Copies of this chain bind each other. A is one copy, B any other.
Amino acid sequence: MDPEGSLFVFGVDGLGEISPGDDLAALIAEHASLLEGDVVVVTQKIVSKAEGRTVRIGTSDPEAKRLLAESEAVRVLRRRGDLVVTETRHGFVCANSGVDLSNVAEGWAVLLPEDPDRSARRLRDGLRARTGQRIAVIISDTFGRAWRRGVTDVALGCAGIRPVVDLRGTKDALGRELVATEVCVVDEVASAADLVMGKARSVPVAVVRGVDPAFLGEGAVIEEVVRPYAEDLFR
């Protein structure tokens, strides 16, 4: 057991219902005791609500949701029943362009943030101003995957943490060069955070404490994690 390299992950609750214009940094700083180097993971849902990224569709008809999802997409990759797998303007490949009707008032839908990395940077700056600490931020959402059943949480945007850490220059335990190990640490942190959030318990924020300081730094999910269409073997 190595307490120095250990992680501690806890949820932050009690933020209340989020409305357009709410100051998430102030709310989070008020409800959590944050330390230098903490990574704060915030679910996309409350970021979108605070940014006013909700639209009134006036119905919970799956057809209306599908039409909205397609209007948010640059490309529809697959259709199966009510499900559309789309590519969003950001380049995310996900179900229904991330359009979501759960945890929002009846007849309303929540869209993804316009620029989740920018949302993360704003939150990071706000937390810095309020706490005096350097805090990293990840905006997370729940995506399905190819080839494997079940959803997991991934990062839509980040600030203060490197999205992909390239370990190619490092040696393995036997002293040989590692060939290709670019780890998407922001997705791993988002997944770790989801384990304390719980879909039904509706804990919208988690803190991951103890992330390797070598992972902290700058970078954007859109630039480093989203695989461009031309480079992708599976679209």
Contacts and interface: CB of A to CB of B under 8 A. Distances in A.
A118 interface: no
Interface residues of A, number: 80
A225 interface: yes
B9 A179 contact: no
How many copies of the polypeptide does the oligomer hold?
Answer: 2
Contacts of A210: 196
Contact of A202 (B3, B147, B172, B195): B172
Contacts of A217: none
A150 interface: yes
Majority SS of interface residues in chain A?
loop
A211 B173 CA distance: 30
23 contacts: A3-B10, A5-B198, A7-B9, A7-B192, A9-B192, A80-B233, A102-B176, A103-B174, A106-B176, A146-B146, A147-B226, A147-B232, A148-B184, A148-B187, A149-B164, A150-B163, A150-B164, A150-B184, A152-B183, A152-B191, A167-B200, A173-B202, A234-B234
Interface of A: 1-3, 5-13, 32-33, 77-78, 80, 85, 92-93, 101-106, 142, 145-154, 163-164, 167, 170-174, 176, 178-179, 181-185, 187-189, 191-192, 194-196, 198-203, 207-208, 210-212, 224-227, 232-235
